[in-house]
Amino acid sequence: MFVVYSEVHRLHHPPFEIAEGGTKQPVPEAPARMDCILNALRQTGWAHFVEPGDFGVDPILAVHSADYVEFLRTGYVRWREEAAELGPNIDPSVLLGVAWPPRRATGRPTTATGLAGYYAMDTYCPITAGTYAAALTAAHGALTGAQLILDGEQAVFALCRPPGHHAGRDFAGGYCYLNNASIAARFLSAQGKVAILDIDFHAGNGTQDIFYADPAVLTVDLHADPERQYPYFTGYVEECGEGHGLGFHHNLTLPLAADDAVYLAALDEGLRLIRKARPAYLVLSFGADIFGGDPIGDLAVTTAGIGEIGRHIAALNLPTLIVMEGGYNTDHLGANTVTVLQAFAVAQPSSNHQKIIDRGG
């Protein structure tokens, strides 16, 4: 199996976030997550690593607004200039919003500080000098995986960091800046019908935002009930799409401490919806935070259960791009990721493993 991965993700390593209750704490979405997964993949014998190609910005602008992408590209540099004028108590290493627009707001600020709130939904998306480069490379990793699928691969793993499913058309949130899975799905949709299956612990509110009125991509999302868990305002079962996209989005919520059996029952309902739609391609947003020992989650899914989840999804027999989202128990993250991938892995590399991914970079 191809694993698309780049070390560029290490450029994004914020020193802190502002957590619930206003506490300043280390960011759990850190480079160590990738090290755990890489170590486990290198022991498999079937993981074949490839660097992301360069697909330019157009596939990203097909999903995200141009002004938002420009903010991600330039916001930190502007922040450094502003911070120098704000005095010695200001930490210039992190750009983080402090004010967010209510739904009735119409004004768009011009300062980096104001824009950091304007283009964010929470305090879990600090921006540093390397954030844009890492996010752009992650998006290109997902696009590289999508191109490999179009080239004939049955399954590809895009080991993306930062993750993406909380990033909407024009906002960041929940450690996410560019929506890797949605960018890849839009790219694939030019060649056939696409379904996104999101099995991260949290609702993929960004993916829902992007495709909510769009029938080109079916979105099915299994997650903790937003009544009790982030993102709180999105992911309810009654949210089914709107306009031409009505009926093309499905939220399947999970109760507190849902175990393997409860999760698999909900998953099978999601898979039924996908089979009914008969897509040509599947994009799987995989979050290992469904694991019972995850410090951010509250489910009770085991490693064996995650393996069974992978087998149920692989049974769709669709060309599948698997995109990494969350997962924060670093003691088990590698094993949980490999376990779900194992269902898609092939014993021998295909002829496509000899191809060189080159999109101008």
Report the half-sphere exposure of 146 (CA within 13 A, side-chain side).
Answer: 33
| String of DSSP letters for 19-43 | -GGG-EE--SS-THHHHHHHHHHTT
> How far, in whole angstroms, is CA 227 from its chain's centroid?
21
| Alpha-carbon span 323 to 5, nearest angstrom | 11
* 3-state secondary structure (DSSP) of residue 224: strand
Contacts of 137 (CB under 8 A, 6+ apart): 6, 8, 9, 52
| Alpha-carbon span 45 to 176, nearest angstrom | 31
| Alpha-carbon span 200 to 327, nearest angstrom | 8
| Alpha-carbon span 7 to 352, nearest angstrom | 23
| Alpha-carbon span 13 to 33, nearest angstrom | 12
| Alpha-carbon span 304 to 311, nearest angstrom | 11
- Catalytic residue IDs: 166
The CA-based diameter of the chain, rounded to the nearest angstrom, is: 60
Q: Indicate the residue type of 239.
A: E
* C-alpha Rg value of the chain to the nearest Å: 19
| Alpha-carbon span 153 to 319, nearest angstrom | 7
Query: Does residue 48 contact residue 144 with C-beta atoms inside 8 Å?
Result: no
> How far, in whole angstroms, is CA 275 from its chain's centroid?
23
Q: Indicate the residue type of 233.
A: F
Write the DSSP symbol of residue 361. Answer: -
Strands 155-158 and 2-4, bridge-based pairing: parallel
Torsion of the alpha carbons at 155, 157, 163 and 165, rounded to the nearest 10: 10
